């Protein structure tokens, strides 16, 4: 397992739903060089789906430039070898293998052609521009914009004022910039709900902040507490209690 690849997928993957789980499953098996060779049965179990869906989705991920097939399996005991790629996570960048028209995720997490889709409304663009100008760490802008558009089109989207106020509080925590969450990660984790006016000193602890970044997305995807503990195995034991409280709160609210 490569923590570097798992973190990269969490921060920049353009997928949602089952396709995001599949992307994370490949990262979970990957070496630091991005090489992995899990069976389609294993990937189907990880993504809570079927082997046929995995096969079709991997083909799409290859087209999207996020996965490369290094060697195809040729029978029993000879699995397909995959290599994860980074370049195409920035949608719309034709120099990194994307289509010239750009692509956006559909409800199942697949990438669909945007040749005929309308551009995001002016309100969406202006809202994202304001979020981007305030957010303290400006990396992976295209990935953040994709998450923003998808999120703000949902019925449970937060009020813009609440989200921007949470960003302002987050910026004032004076965390080491290396440990400030990527904007796409912050949005996926619904961090505007985590940051409150009554924030305690513990919420300003970068180590605990990073632990929450691991646990919150897993909890929202329905992973077990055991999976969360595995993701926290390299952290100081003092983060376990607060992370369990966050996990229980998220799962209890389902």
Domain membership of residue 17 (yes or no) is yes
Whether 12 contacts 184, CB under 8 Å: yes
- Residue 130 included in any domain: no
Note whether residue 247 is domain-resident: no
Asked if residue 66 belongs to a domain, the reply is yes
Q: CA 184, CA 13: separation in Å to the nearest integer?
A: 9
Both tokens assigned to 129 = 């521009």
Contact status, residue 13 vs residue 143, Cβ threshold 8 Å:
yes
Number of folded domains that form the chain: 1
| DSSP state string for 116-166 | SSPPPPHHHHHHHHHHHHH-S----HHHHHHHHHHHHTSTTPPPHHHHHHH
Q: Residue 70 domain-assigned?
A: yes
Tens-binned pLDDT, residue by residue, of the chain (254 aa): 667 888 888 888 888 888 888 998 898 888 888 889 888 889 988 888 898 999 999 999 898 889 998 888 765 656 788 999 885 444 333 323 233 333 333 434 434 333 333 344 556 677 889 999 999 888 888 888 888 888 888 777 888 888 899 888 888 875 666 667 888 888 887 888 774 444 444 444 567 778 888 888 888 888 898 888 888 888 877 788 888 888 888 877 55
Tell me the longest C-alpha to C-alpha distance in the chain: 59
Residue 4 CA to residue 27 CA, distance in Å, equals: 9
Nearest by Cα to 93 from 105, 101, 84, 82: 101
State the residue range of the domain holding 94. 1-117
80 falls within a domain: yes
Judged by DSSP in three states, 36 sits in strand
Does a structural domain hold residue 147?
no
pTM, two decimals, is: 0.39
Q: For residue 100, what is the domain's CATH number?
A: 1.10.10.10
């Amino acid at each position: 397992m490569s923590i570097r690849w798992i973190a990269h997928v969490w921060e920049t993957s353009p997928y949602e739903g089952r396709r995001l789980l599949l992307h994370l499953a490949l990262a979970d098996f990957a070496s630091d060089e991005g090489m992995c060779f899990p069976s389609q049965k294993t990937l189907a179990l990880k993504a809570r789906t079927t082997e046929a869906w995995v096969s079709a989705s991997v083909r799409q991920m290859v087209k999207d430039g996020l996965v490369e097939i290094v060697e195809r399996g040729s029978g029993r005991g000879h699995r397909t070898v995959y290599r994860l790629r980074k370049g195409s996570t920035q949608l719309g960048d034709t120099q990194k293998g994307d289509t010239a028209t750009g692509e956006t995720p559909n409800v199942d997490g697949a990438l669909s052609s945007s040749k005929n889709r309308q551009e995001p409304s002016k309100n969406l663009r202006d809202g994202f521009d304001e979020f981007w100008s305030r957010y303290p760490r400006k990396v992976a802008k295209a990935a953040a914009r994709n998450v923003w558009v998808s999120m703000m089109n949902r019925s449970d989207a937060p009020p813009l004022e609440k989200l921007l106020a949470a960003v302002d509080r987050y910026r004032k925590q004076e965390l080491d910039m290396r440990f400030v969450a990527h904007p796409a990660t912050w949005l996926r984790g619904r961090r505007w709900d985590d940051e409150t006016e009554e924030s305690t000193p513990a919420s300003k602890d970068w180590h605990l902040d990073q632990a929450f970044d691991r646990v919150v997305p897993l909890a929202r995807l329905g992973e077990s507490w055991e999976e969360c503990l595995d993701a926290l195995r390299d952290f100081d034991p003092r983060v376990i209690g607060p992370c369990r409280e966050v996990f229980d709160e998220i799962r209890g609210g389902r």
